[in-house]
Amino acid sequence: MTLKKPRTLNIGPRTAFKGGFTLIEMVVVLVVISLVAVLVLPLLPSTDAANLRSSARRLSSVIRYLGDRSVTTKTPYRMLLDLTDNTIAVKKIVNGEEAPPTIPFLPASCLRKGYPSRMWKSPGSGS
């Protein structure tokens, strides 16, 4: 009869698990990302402010162009802003009557599409 060697458990020093991240590492990364988002997001410009700025630049360039054209051609122009429809209408004044202008590239709208006209404040409206 042969005696079998008793089985012993091979309990040695634990080896590190190399397959992924620990929960603490993931929580630390999430905290860092959320802190960066909280600090950076308020500094980014809002789309409403950018749309308003773009519309104001477009409108000022049309006004400046019409002023320059009026001075160089010695012809008066009338510009009508309709804020409910977000449109610009330019009329050339010839002999005291309105005529369509010969300016093909004037924009039809002064505000970006979908931009609320309630943001515009007019001095006469009391708002």
Residues in CB range of 51: below 8 A, 6 or more apart: 111, 112, 115
- The whole-number pLDDT of residue 127 equals 43
Return per-residue pLDDT of the chain as tens, 127 residues: 676 776 766 666 665 556 788 899 999 999 999 999 999 887 777 777 777 888 888 888 888 988 998 899 888 888 888 878 777 788 888 888 888 777 766 666 655 555 544 444 444 444 4
Q: Is residue 39 part of a domain?
A: no
CA distance 9 to 114: 74
| Residue type, position 60, single letter | S
For 21, 64, 90, the CA distances from 76, given in Å and listed in that order, are: 73, 13, 11
Question: Could you tell me if residue 93 is inside a domain?
Answer: yes
List the domain range (segments joined by +) for residue 80: 74-111
CA distance 102 to 90: 10
**Residue 52: Cβ-neighbour burial (10 angstroms; 0-12, 13-18, 19+):** middle
β-strands 77-82, 97-99 pairing: unpaired
- Residue 40 inside a domain? The answer is no
Residue 80 in domain: yes
- The answer as to whether 124 is a domain residue is no
HSE-up (13 A, CA, CB side) for residue 72: 6
pTM above 0.75, yes or no: no
**Number of structural domains found in the chain:** 1
